[in-house]
Structure 1
């Protein structure tokens, strides 16, 4: 789950964090859970989802767990609400007792966990009977347009780029693999929902500059190129992106959200 390209919170915020905030609001509106619940945010990063829960869901308490020291430090600086705390930890071995929380959420994380099934089993372990386990991931295959446009242009210039394209690397950007994960963890009433949000860039620089920050697959690929190759990719993207008369670039981002309920009784095969 942890990687050197996911350590710089400020660079992440410029690259995708601003769009993560939009999808977090849509996700919590879809969950529509009551107030005064105990929440766990797995892969809490810079605190985007945690802060949105505090603002909109009225939790009793929320704990954020992330493997990145840099992200946890930034989350602690940015989220000062007394109901929230953050810890460095692994999604696959959560530092909580069985049934410790009422809701487990995870935003844009599962594709980066080495063993996602193990992580979701942990989600199911730490949630109380009848509690909710929910997550969302970007649709890298088609719906995350800012990244899709980047990889399509990169692949047109460099055949080797296709192997690094997120659509090929991350299987969990489709509904069915997500459903399978939740059901295999013993969760019930499983449902999947597409969440679409606008991603409007003020101009081409607003789109391109965050890719230079090294955070994520596409920026990491960009840092591996020579200056001439980067320039060629930049120019191709500038020619291909749909630009409005005012210079803005209006794209959309899709995430797939999933939710399930922890059973209130232990299945016979798990006793």
Structure 2
């Protein structure tokens, strides 16, 4: 597992935005639109990355307070520089949140849980921070099937190099499916639990627009690309090109699906400070 996790490098904001961040804002917009919550509440964003979810929540719900945390100092710097509004960004580990218990009305996490050493441990921290009756919600990419450009990439990589299967996020992150997410939320004592798909278009101008971010070494797939020989990289590129559909104008039109999970903290649950 540690050998696999060495490819889970998410630190440089611009490289992340070129690879996955450009879809993060779109899925955040769909996710926040589906939340059943009022304006002027207290929010906590766990694993905020470059701030896409915090930005959308601020624009749509005008929180009275929004604290957003990430363990990457570089991501936090990027978020502070790009997200407007009164958001408090802090460098902090999702596994040990520096917040009081029962302090927030809404605790959210976007595209983060599967990268943490213990999703259940992180959710326990989220629930600790949540007031009774508050909403805990998160979403993760459907790496197994629904994130189509990554699925095509890993299918190509494994066909050329069976050892690449060990790094395929679809295999590595079983939590990124509806039933495991539901089980995680109910196991944390949350009620009114539901899981729903969130789908967005992922359109690339051409194959170069799709391929170039894979060369930046940011994340599991680009990490794998950086580790192979130049000759194997060329074969991977050509196989990947053949595996994706091309429109008449040269664009590549795919979709990205995430799974969102929602639940509420019971009114009688103990709330340690």
Aligning the two structures, in what range does the TM-score lie when normalised by the shorter sequence?
A: over 0.9
- Displacement of 1:33 in angstroms is 1.6
Gaps of 5+ in 2: none
1:234 equivalent in alignment to 2:268: no
Q: Is the 8 A contact 2:7 2:219 kept in 1?
A: no
Matching residue within 232, 235, 255 for 1:252: 255
TM-score by length of 2: 0.95
Q: Is the 8 A contact 1:2 1:68 kept in 2?
A: no
Gaps of 5+ in 1: none
1:262 equivalent in alignment to 2:265: yes
What residue number does 1:204 align with?
Answer: 207
CA separation of 1:52 and 1:2: change in aligned 2, threshold 3 A: farther
Higher mean C-alpha deviation, range 38-47 or range 177-186:
177-186
Matching residue within 116, 129, 132 for 1:129: 132
State the alpha-carbon separation in 1 of the partners of residues 8 and 244 from structure 2: 30
1:69 equivalent in alignment to 2:97: no
Matching residue within 152, 159, 174 for 2:162: 159
State the alpha-carbon separation in 2 of the partners of residues 104 and 4 from structure 1: 24
State the alpha-carbon separation in 2 of the partners of residues 214 and 195 from structure 1: 27
State the alpha-carbon separation in 2 of the partners of residues 171 and 147 from structure 1: 15
Runs of 4+ in structure 1 off by over 6 angstroms are 1-4
1:19 equivalent in alignment to 2:28: no
Matching residue within 26, 31, 34 for 2:35: 31
Q: Is the 8 A contact 2:8 2:220 kept in 1?
A: no
How many residue pairs are counted as aligned between the two chains? 267
Deviation readout 1:166-193 (Å, 9 max, x if unpaired): 1111111111111111111111100000
State the alpha-carbon separation in 2 of the partners of residues 144 and 239 from structure 1: 18
